[in-house]
Amino acid sequence: MTLVNQLTHEGFIKKTKQKRDRHFVLTNQHNLLILTIHLNFDKSYALLFDQLGNVIEEIPLKDCGLDTENLINSLTSIVLKLSDLLNAKFQNILSISFILPMYAEFQGSFPSPSTFQEIEENLEKKLRKNICILNPSYSAQRAFFELKKEKRENALILTIHKEIGLSIVSNGKMADRRHFPGSEFGHSPLSFNDKLCSCGKKNCLENEVSYSAIINKVNKALLDGQNSVLKVGNISIDSILNAAIAGDQLSIKIFHNIGFNLGKAISVLIQLIAPEKIMLISDIYRAKDFLSNGISSGLNLYCPFFKSENVIIEYHDSNYKNLFTGAYYAAWDKTFYNQLKLMN
């Protein structure tokens, strides 16, 4: 019996009334739950989804005690804490997704992709659930792919936060990065600032356009005596964005320069992948007027016009809750992947 037939037979999915094509939707006949957990070193948060993607419970987690040296025990004890809180519902959880803190926050102790695979397999045996371990960039990209229904032949989803992430949409499908962490575009040597990156190398793009890079640029310009409404020290990405939108010349210039560097990086992607569209997801979308000018300048200088002229560049804000949506879809992938492995 094929997987589709088996799932239909057991009542997990049902056919819709479309005559020509076969379409299937999930039914709510079974109560299968998916637990997504966003881990941070200070405060964490869990959302419980039903099989149709509705959030049925939100659980803030204080002092989750994430220990990077012993992730298996650390993640197990977090799940056990949640199982106490969820009582009977825990039995109905089919899959669990963990969204880890950003790579840079591990300060050199970030496990390798093969270690993550081992951790997933180990936790699956211990907890008897499907387990996904994700990074925040991938979770955001996956959520956007699903929410925007981006089905173009070739597109790119670029996230800019404390780190830079990239996902490739090819033939209408988002590249499968089952084995974390996948694409490391942020660590491409596209800068000439000679600064040491969290990955241990120099000249990474991340040191040029990430949030901390932007804050460092503003602080340096202020220390060099440049005029601005901002003051050295107490600066956040939000305060720089607010200043730029209010007309602060230094902040506008910094975002224009960031855009220029992004344009240079994007020209590499255009020449390698020839995307029809690039979606840029970041809080700095609020400065898109200044960024887009910079990106155009970078593209004009580094990318042949006939290659870049038809590429659509879209700007979107990042939404914290989208991370959970991405983790929910990744958990479904893992569930079906494991089911297919069992049947083959």
Question: Which part of the chain contacts Zn ion (CB under 5 A), choosing from 51-59, 190-198, 219-227, 244-252?
Answer: 190-198
Select 36 or 188, whichever has its Cβ closest to Zn ion: 188
Site residues for Zn ion, window 59-118 (CB under 5 A)? none
- 184 is an interface residue for Zn ion by CB under 5 A: no
**Rounded Cα distance, 129 and 133, in Å:** 13
List C-alpha distances in Å: 300 to 5, 186, 236, 263, 310. Answer: 53, 22, 31, 8, 13
- 273 is an interface residue for Zn ion by CB under 5 A: no
- 26 is an interface residue for Zn ion by CB under 5 A: no
Q: Least Å distance between CB 115 and Zn ion?
A: 19
List C-alpha distances in Å: 3 to 7, 14, 19, 338, 342. Answer: 6, 13, 21, 12, 10
Q: Least Å distance between CB 213 and Zn ion?
A: 11
**Rounded Cα distance, 252 and 291, in Å:** 9
Q: Which residue from 38, 177, 187, 277 is in contact with Zn ion, where contact means CB under 5 A?
A: 187
Residue 191-210 contact track with Zn ion, rule CB under 5 A, x = bound: ------x-x-x--x------
Residue 128-167 contact track with Zn ion, rule CB under 5 A, x = bound: ----------------------------------------
Q: Least Å distance between CB 120 and Zn ion?
A: 25
**Rounded Cα distance, 278 and 168, in Å:** 10
Return the closest-CA partner of residue 52 out of 334, 325, 322: 325
Q: Is 79 helix (H, G, I), strand (E, B) or coil?
A: helix
Select 98 or 138, whichever has its Cβ closest to Zn ion: 138
* 150, 277 Cβ separation under 8 angstroms: yes
Select 207 or 251, whichever has its Cβ closest to Zn ion: 207
- 268 is an interface residue for Zn ion by CB under 5 A: no
**Rounded Cα distance, 339 and 344, in Å:** 9
Q: Least Å distance between CB 167 and Zn ion?
A: 18
Residues forming a β-bridge with 5: none
Site residues for Zn ion, window 204-243 (CB under 5 A)? 204
List C-alpha distances in Å: 72 to 65, 68, 83, 107. Answer: 12, 9, 16, 19
Binding residues for Zn ion (CB under 5 A):
187, 197, 199, 201, 204
